[in-house]
A and B are shown apart, each in its own frame.
Chain A
Amino acid sequence: MIYLTRKVEFSASHLYHNPDFSPEENRRVFGKCNNPHGHGHNYVLEVTVAGEPDPRTGMVLDLKELKDILQREILDRMDHRFLNYEVPELAGKIPTTETIAMTIWQLLEPSINHRGQGTLHRVRLYETPDLFVDCTGNGQ
């Protein structure tokens, strides 16, 4: 099995706020991340696809296709957006790194896996160089 990883970056803003919490509780739980006008990050996304190289091409999958999938499913949706308000898949959710990574997995899995060439293995999302989340499929 070969694991191929492609990295892309996007810049986006977000805020953490649970409408079921009081204002004081939101500030206590989420701290600065609760500031009402949001704040931003340069996110770094690493997407790992597992598979066997196609003997005809030597490739697990065509990098151009993976690049196009990442552009269409992730960058077009999230780059230079306010995640809470402009990304329908995150509407009503708290866009923590955990939640964004899970959402990215759900967006990428059908596009990558349906091709029959490689399967999505891991989504790694950095919010800052010192904080990242790994998302893998069920049972991995």
Chain B
Amino acid sequence: MKLVLHRRYRFSASHRLHQAAWPQQENLRVYGKCANEHGHGHNYVLDVSVTGPVDPATGMITNLADLDAYIGQHVLAEFDHVYLNQDVPAFRSLIPTAENICRVIFDRLRGYPHAQLASIGLEETGANSFEYAGESRENA
């Protein structure tokens, strides 16, 4: 029997989708409103999924207090209420699309010591959501 635990977190941040090597006209063609010069924001919903054996002493895959602290320290402290393009170093050279935000967050969380990271989900708006389980088949 396989168990996966899913926990939902929220952060609000702004970003701009913009490829510096392109003229602004090309950026507007590709990214539309998302290329507007001063950026714009979203309320992101982050779903973190972890798996592993259930500890018989606690009945838990992982203690939620540990998971909350880890997500708080490794994601929310740096991602909430910031301008992603400038305030998160990874996005100074990487366009902060939801796809890239998923990859950056997954890489930050794969070292979680108390359970195995299975996948993450990111809702950018109620209409757009993304899932990422890593590149290898280890999480397939």
Q: Which residues of A contact B (CB under 8 A)?
A: 16, 18, 20-21, 29-31, 93-99, 101-102, 105, 129-140
Contacts and interface: CB of A to CB of B under 8 A. Distances in A.
B2 A136 contact: yes
B3 A96 contact: no
Contact of A96 (B2, B4, B59): B59
Interface centre among A16, A97, A135 (most CB of B within 10 A): A97
Contact of B1 (A31, A93, A96, A138): A138
Contacts of B59: 16, 93-96, 98-99
B57 to A, nearest CB: 6
Contacts of A99: 54, 59
Contacts of B6: 131-134
Interface size of B as a range: 10 to 19
A18 B3 contact: no
Given A129-B8, A130-B8, A20 B3 contact: no
Contact of B61 (A30, A98, A132): A98
B3 A131 contact: no
A134 B58 CA distance: 18
B3 A137 contact: no
16 contacts: A29-B63, A30-B58, A95-B59, A101-B3, A102-B1, A102-B3, A130-B7, A131-B5, A131-B64, A132-B5, A134-B6, A135-B1, A137-B1, A137-B2, A138-B1, A139-B2
Contacts of A30: 58
Contacts of A130: 7-9
Contacts of B3: 98, 101-102, 133-135
Contacts of B88: none
A51 B3 CA distance: 21
B77 interface: no
B60 interface: yes
Contacts of A137: 1-2
Given A133-B3, A135-B2, 20 more contacts: A16-B58, A18-B57, A31-B65, A96-B54, A96-B59, A98-B54, A99-B54, A102-B54, A105-B1, A130-B7, A130-B8, A130-B9, A131-B6, A132-B5, A132-B6, A133-B4, A134-B4, A136-B1, A137-B1, A138-B1
A85 to B, nearest CB: 16
Nearest to B54: A98
Contacts of A94: 58-60
Contacts of A31: 65
Contacts of B64: 131
Interface in B12-70: 54, 57-61, 63-65
